[in-house]
């Protein structure tokens, strides 16, 4: 498909996991990619893979906690690739621990990146889209942890719930500018986030037992939904939240650390 031909996507956390998968899916549909990450080497690897598919790509060193870095990255993206069409706020971290063991620093680190970082990313992209005056798309990555409580994920779940509801408000504010804002809630996705090693024999099969569809998700599953939301096919979709979890939320799937996904 070529639903994004010639359009420009700015993606945070693009150096690995979901971010890289979305960059490659968007590129396969014709988009040029601004791959932003706090790891510039990883971002450049993503950009190289994008360029191998045909579209142009640049790698950007960005700390999503810093407004000035985001603004500079957006400006460079426009200068080198053209007007933006879609911004994906994907960068995220986790700190393992429970209510009894987490420190204030652990809490703040997750909130700063997973919630404030999403706000700052969306704000920077939205300002550029409004200046351009041609509409556009915002996509934020939440989690099934925005829906359910998971032991060991207090700050992560709090941040992701905030992302979900913040995105709904952004959708209302940006609608007059023909900019849509939607969020995606991945479930258990087979990426290295959280130190998961999915190459271990039987790891995927065991993890999929509690999921109604009988398997863990792949980063490409999330990327496919993101590509739809970035396309003209989703022009009347805003303020929505798309679970990509194989049915685990409705099935009552739980357990410590369950929704590791990036």
Domain ranges of the chain: 8-244
Active site residues: 156
Q: Which residues pair with 181 in a beta bridge?
A: 138
At 166, list the tokens: 């913040």
The pair of structure tokens assigned to 76 is: 């460079």
Phi, psi of 151 (to 5 degrees): -60, 135
Segments of the chain assigned E as strands: 8-12, 32-37, 57-61, 86-89, 136-141, 179-186, 241-244
Q: Write down the architecture of domain 8-244 according to CATH.
A: 3-Layer(aba) Sandwich (3.40)
What is the pLDDT at residue 261?
Answer: 44
Mean pLDDT in consecutive groups of 10 residues from the start of the chain, 262 residues:
95 97 98 98 98 98 98 98 98 94 97 98 98 98 92 94 97 98 94 69 75 92 98 98 93 52 45
The dihedrals phi and psi of 94, each to the nearest 5 degrees, come to: -145, 155
Q: What is residue 257's predicted lDDT score, i.e. its pLDDT?
A: 42
**Could you give the angle at the alpha carbon of 240 between the alpha carbons of 76 and 150, nearest 5°?**
95
């Amino acid at each position: 498909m070529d639903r994004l031909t010639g359009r420009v996507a700015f993606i945070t956390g693009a150096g690995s996991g979901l971010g890289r998968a979305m960059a490659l899916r968007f590129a396969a549909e014709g988009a040029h990619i601004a791959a932003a990450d706090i790891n510039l080497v990883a971002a450049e690897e993503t950009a190289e893979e994008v360029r191998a598919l045909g579209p142009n790509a640049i790698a950007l060193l960005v700390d999503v906690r810093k407004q000035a870095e985001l603004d500079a990255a957006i400006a460079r993206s426009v200068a080198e690739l053209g007007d933006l069409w879609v911004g994906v706020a994907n960068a995220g971290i986790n700190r393992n621990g429970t209510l009894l063991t987490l420190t204030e620093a652990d809490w703040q680190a997750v909130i700063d990146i997973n919630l404030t970082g999403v706000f700052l990313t969306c704000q920077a992209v939205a300002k550029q889209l409004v200046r351009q005056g041609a509409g556009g798309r915002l996509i934020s990555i939440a989690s099934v942890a925005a829906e359910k409580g998971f032991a060991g994920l207090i700050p992560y779940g709090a941040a992701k719930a905030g992302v979900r509801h913040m995105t709904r408000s952004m959708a209302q504010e940006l609608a007059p500018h023909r900019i849509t804002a939607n969020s995606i809630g991945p479930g258990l996705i087979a990426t290295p986030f959280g130190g998961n090693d999915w190459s271990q024999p039987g790891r995927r099969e065991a993890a999929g037992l509690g999921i109604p569809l009988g398997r863990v998700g792949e980063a490409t599953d999330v990327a496919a939904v993101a590509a739809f939301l970035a396309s003209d096919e989703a022009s009347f979709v805003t303020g929505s939240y798309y679970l990509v979890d194989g049915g685990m939320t409705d099935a009552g799937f739980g357990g410590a650390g369950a929704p590791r996904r990036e």
